[in-house]
C-alpha cells in the first residue's frame, strides 16, 4: 500500500497527511551518511575537484539547483570555490546524445567528456533505478569518481553503486523529492557554516 491510498474530501486533511509523510521521510535519513556526504563534498571542493549532479524530472530540477546553492552559496564568506556541474542542464547536449545514441547514455556520455579521476558524481533519483542515472554511476565507479546517491523507495541499483547512499524512506515521489531538496540545502548550508567566521553567521541570511 502506498501513499495516498484514498481520496481526501478536503485539502487541509491531505496537507496534514502529506506533511506527516515528509516528516517521516526526513526523520529516516541516516545522519551518519549525511556526515559522510558532507565530508566527501567538502574535500572535493577543497582540492578543486568537480561535483557532477544528475537526475530526471523533479530530480533534474534538484540537480540544477545544486549548481546555484553549492557553487554560489558555499563560496559566500568562505575560502571554498566549489566546481559544480549539472548533467541535467545542457539541453542541446542531452537531446543530441538521446537522439544519436540513447537516452540511457545522456549522463554517462557527458561524464566521459568532462570528468576526471578524483571528481565526484551525485545522483538524485527517487527510485534509484533510472537507467541513465545507473549508467552514470557505473561509469563513475569504474573511472575513479566517488558516488553519492540520493534515493527513495527501495533504493534501486544506485544504492549498491554508491560510496555514500543517503536514503529517504517513502513511497511517494513528491515526498521523496521534497526530502532530497532539503538534503541539498542542508549540505550546502552546513558546509558553508563550517567554513565561515563565527561572527558572520548571525549577520547573514541563509
Distance, CA of 130 to chain centre: 14
Provide the CATH number for the domain around residue 65: 3.40.50.10490
Q: Is residue 206 part of a domain?
A: no
Query: Which residues are bridge partners to 166 per DSSP?
Result: 150
149 three-state secondary structure = strand
- Are 183 and 150 in contact by the 8 Å Cβ rule? The answer is yes
Give the whole-angstrom CA distance, residue 192 versus residue 71: 11
Q: Is residue 143 part of a domain?
A: yes
- Residue 83's H or E segment, with its range, is strand 83-86
Res 206 pLDDT > 90: no
pLDDT value for 141: 98
* Residue 28 banded pLDDT, cuts 50, 70, 90: very high
Res 203 pLDDT > 90: no
pLDDT value for 185: 98
* Burial state string for 2-38 with b = 16 or more CB within 10 A and e = fewer than 16: eeeeeeeeeeeeeeeebeebbeebbeebeeebbebbb
Q: Is residue 205 part of a domain?
A: no
Q: Is residue 69 part of a domain?
A: yes
User: Which residue bears the cell 491510498?
Assistant: 5
* Residue 200 banded pLDDT, cuts 50, 70, 90: confident
pLDDT value for 197: 86
Q: Is residue 45 part of a domain?
A: yes
Res 202 pLDDT > 90: no
Please compute the mean of the pLDDT values over residues 108-136 and round it to a whole number: 98
What are the angstrom distances between the C-alpha of 137 and each of 87, 190, 191?
12, 25, 24
71 three-state secondary structure = helix
pLDDT value for 205: 80
For the segment 48-82, what is each residue's pLDDT rounded down to a tens digit?
999 999 999 999 999 999 999 999 999 999 999 99
For the segment 142-178, what is each residue's pLDDT rounded down to a tens digit?
999 999 999 999 999 999 999 999 999 999 999 999 9
Q: Is residue 16 part of a domain?
A: no
Total of domains in the chain: 1
Cell for 172? 511517494
Q: Is residue 146 part of a domain?
A: yes
Q: Is residue 73 part of a domain?
A: yes
Question: Could you tell me where the DSSP H helices lie in the chain?
Answer: 11-28, 31-46, 58-66, 91-100, 106-114, 131-142, 156-161, 173-194, 198-201
Cell for 104? 540511457
Is the model more confident about 155 or about 205? Answer: 155
Give the whole-angstrom CA distance, residue 71 versus residue 54: 15
Domain range for residue 150? 31-196
Amino acid at each position: 500500500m502506498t501513499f495516498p491510498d484514498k481520496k481526501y474530501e478536503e485539502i487541509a486533511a491531505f496537507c496534514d497527511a502529506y506533511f506527516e509523510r515528509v516528516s517521516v521521510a526526513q526523520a529516516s535519513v541516516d545522519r551518519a551518511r549525511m556526515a559522510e556526504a558532507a565530508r566527501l563534498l567538502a574535500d572535493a571542493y577543497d582540492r578543486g575537484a568537480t561535483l557532477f549532479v544528475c537526475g530526471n524530472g523533479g530530480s533534474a530540477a534538484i540537480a540544477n539547483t545544486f549548481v546555484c546553492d553549492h557553487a554560489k552559496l558555499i563560496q559566500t564568506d568562505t575560502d571554498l570555490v566549489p566546481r559544480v556541474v549539472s548533467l541535467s542542464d545542457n539541453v542541446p547536449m542531452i537531446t543530441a546524445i538521446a537522439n544519436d545514441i540513447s537516452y540511457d547514455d545522456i549522463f554517462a556520455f557527458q561524464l566521459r567528456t568532462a570528468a576526471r579521476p578524483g571528481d565526484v558524481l551525485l545522483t538524485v533519483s527517487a527510485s534509484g533505478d533510472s537507467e541513465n542515472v545507473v549508467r552514470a554511476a557505473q561509469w563513475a565507479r569504474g573511472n575513479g569518481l566517488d558516488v553519492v546517491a540520493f534515493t527513495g523507495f527501495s533504493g534501486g541499483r544506485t544504492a549498491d553503486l554508491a560510496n555514500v547512499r543517503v536514503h529517504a524512506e517513502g513511497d511517494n515521489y513528491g515526498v521523496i523529492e521534497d526530502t532530497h531538496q532539503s538534503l541539498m540545502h542542508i549540505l550546502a548550508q552546513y558546509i558553508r557554516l563550517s567554513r565561515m567566521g563565527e561572527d558572520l553567521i548571525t549577520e547573514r541570511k541563509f
